[in-house]
């Protein structure tokens, strides 16, 4: 992420899609040192963002997360963003996972339609809405 506006755009999408775990600019700047964070535009219009996390001590899988603002869903944006992330994730890890806020019915439907299966539901400290961890069945 090369400039302040890109960071702010990524933050806007992330925080709208995941309001239970908002990130500050400092949080994002720390994450960009270990993850691939990208922003998606349709022309000059912000439509989404993505995260690709390399494998960690917790999992040998890469984690791919594609977020699309509600107004731009069901237009192919999520598919394009997901496929881009998937290519990158496959270069990094042994398997692919994603994490979706359980209240994001569109995101869960999308993931399951693309072959992901639920592995675990977990609640972050202080949260009331759990996340769903899914793994791509390959």
Q: Which residues pair with 116 in a beta bridge?
A: 136
Residue 2 has pLDDT above 80, yes or no: no
Whole-angstrom Cα distance, residue 108 to residue 111?
5
Residue from 134, 60, 76, 73 nearest 102 by CA: 134
How many other C-beta atoms lie within 10 A of the C-beta of residue 63? 24
Contact 97, 62 (CB under 8 A): yes
What's the gap between Cα 130 and its chain centre?
A: 15
Residue 125 has pLDDT above 90, yes or no: no
pLDDT value of residue 93: 81
Whole-angstrom Cα distance, residue 138 to residue 133?
16
Q: What does the pLDDT look like over 12-29, one tens digit per residue?
A: 999 999 998 899 999 999
């Amino acid at each position: 992420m090369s400039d302040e506006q890109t960071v702010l755009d990524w933050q806007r999408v992330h925080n709208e899609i995941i309001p239970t775990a908002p990130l500050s600019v400092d949080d994002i700047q720390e994450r960009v040192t270990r993850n691939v964070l990208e922003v998606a535009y349709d022309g000059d219009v912000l439509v989404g963002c993505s995260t690709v996390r390399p494998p960690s001590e917790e999992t040998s899988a890469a984690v791919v997360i594609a977020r699309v603002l509600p107004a731009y869903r069901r237009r192919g944006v999520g598919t394009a963003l997901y496929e881009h992330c998937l290519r990158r994730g496959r270069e990094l890890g042994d398997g692919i996972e994603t994490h979706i806020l359980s209240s994001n019915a569109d995101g869960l439907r999308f993931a399951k339609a693309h072959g992901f299966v639920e592995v675990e539901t977990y609640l972050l400290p202080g949260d009331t809405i759990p996340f769903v961890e899914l793994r791509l069945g390959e």
